[in-house]
Amino acid sequence: MRNPPVPSPVSSIGERSRGDAARAPLTALLESLRPDLLRFAQWLARDRAIAEDIVQEALLRAWRSREALKDPAAARAWLLTIVRREHARLYERKRLELVSLDDALDIPDNAAAATADAQLLTLRSAIMRLPIEYREPLVMQVLGGFSTEEIARELELTNTAVLTRLFRARHRLRGLCGTAAPGGAPEEQPT
């Protein structure tokens, strides 16, 4: 006795039945958008193998919830959202060990130099020398992954104020680390 064939999200020529014919446009749509999804996932993950896994999972989720797609013209945005969320799911389960900023100040320079490279130490030291009003939103965005809106809500600031502080923090970091501002950005006077 043989098992019945399992329906596949990928169409194959010659094996299409009436039900498969209705799904063929969606399959073709998913296949046509796959390169864009892969480029986006690779940009997010910075790793080709992880990006391929993300796209595969995203396409599987999209296939399972294909009834949710009402307008095929919105498929690209819908799939990019699924890819972004799938990428975020990778890191939901991973919890990195956090060190408080006060403890980071207490790390002796010779012990840190033995375990980390000089550029990381320079950057860490420069971040710690930033005024708290610039350091806090920068750390929340870069290390915490907070959006501008989330930072504004946490610090009770406007979005514009957060963006200004982030700009100034990066500008001061460039000065502290000895790198020039990109594209000839105008110099800012310290406040």
Indicate the CATH number of 18-92 among 1.25.10, 1.10.1740, 1.10.357, 1.10.10: 1.10.1740
Please give the Cα distance from 187 to 10 (Å, whole number): 55
Residue 15 has pLDDT above 50, yes or no: no
DSSP 144-178: T---HHHHHHHHT--HHHHHHHHHHHHHHHHHHHT
Give yes or no for a contact between 27 and 9, defined as CB atoms under 8 angstroms apart. Answer: yes
Residue 144 has pLDDT above 70, yes or no: yes
Higher pLDDT, 107 or 159: 159
pLDDT digit string (tens) for 29-52? 888 999 999 999 998 888 899 999
**How would residue 106 be classed by pLDDT, with cut points 50, 70 and 90?**
low
pLDDT of residue 34: 92
Question: What is 101-183's CATH topology?
Answer: Arc Repressor Mutant, subunit A (1.10.10)
What percentage of the chain has pLDDT greater than the value 70? 71
pLDDT of residue 44: 87
pLDDT of residue 184: 52
**How would residue 134 be classed by pLDDT, with cut points 50, 70 and 90?**
very high
Domain with CATH 1.10.10.10 in the chain: 101-183
Query: In sequence order, what are the residues at sequence separation of 6 or more whose Cβ sits closer than 8 angstroms to the Cβ of residue 158?
Result: 152
Domain with CATH 1.10.1740 in the chain: 18-92
* Mean pLDDT rounded to a whole number for the chain: 78
pTM for the full predicted model: 0.41
